[in-house]
Amino acid sequence: MNLIEEIKLDNGLTLKIFDLSRSIAADTVKVEVSFQTKISLKESYFADIQDYNQVKDAMGDELAYERNLERSFVHKQNEDSVRDDLINTFKSNSLDYLASANFPQKMALSLLRDIKKNPYKYNPHIYTDSEE
């Protein structure tokens, strides 16, 4: 992972842009860019403490946002322009949303809805030594 850029957002978050590109063949690459930010979980995002605790138990003190954009089988000579295009597309389509003041709360509440709807995804399914 190669850090390309860090953007300080108006809501206090820092968006990091990483290059995850790799060669596929002698003359082609898979261009992949990852956009990531971390959000501190706050009680104030939730209507009650039980909801906060449910998210905290599942995710810890910090939430992670990640979005990857990719193009496969790109000719090596076009790698930089395709990467720049992916970054510019993300910035023009998503940056204002991520920078909005209520984005961290919206993400936390969205995660809460998913935890309530799909609790099996958030419960560990790994055996303990006492189960052997």
Query: Which tokens is 12 given?
Result: 């206090």
Residue 55 vs residue 131, higher pLDDT = 55
Token output for 41: 């979980």
* 36 confidence band (pLDDT: 50, 70, 90): very high
User: Does 64 fall in a domain?
Assistant: yes
Q: Is residue 75 part of a domain?
A: yes
Per the structure, the count of domains in the chain is 1
The count of other CB atoms within 10 Å of the CB of residue 63 is 19
> Has residue 17 got a pLDDT over 80?
yes
Place of tokens 């978050």: 13
Q: Is the pLDDT of residue 126 over 80?
A: no
Cα–Cα distance list, 47 to 25, 29, 121 (Å): 52, 47, 23
Residue 107 has pLDDT above 60, yes or no: yes
What is the pLDDT confidence band of residue 41, given thresholds at 50, 70 and 90? Answer: very high
Q: What is the residue type of 54? A: Q
Q: Concatenated DSSP letters for 1-62?
A: -EEEEEEE-TTS-EEEEEE--EESSSSEEEEEEEEEEEEE--GGGSSSHHHHHHHHHHH-SE
**CA dihedral defined by 132, 128, 130, 57, rounded to 10 degrees?**
-150
> In the predicted model, is pLDDT for residue 131 greater than 60?
no
99 part of a folded domain: yes
Print the domain residue range for 67. Answer: 2-118
131 within a domain of the structure (yes/no): no
Phi, psi of 20, rounded to the nearest 5 degrees: -115, 20
Could you tell me if residue 127 is inside a domain?
Answer: no
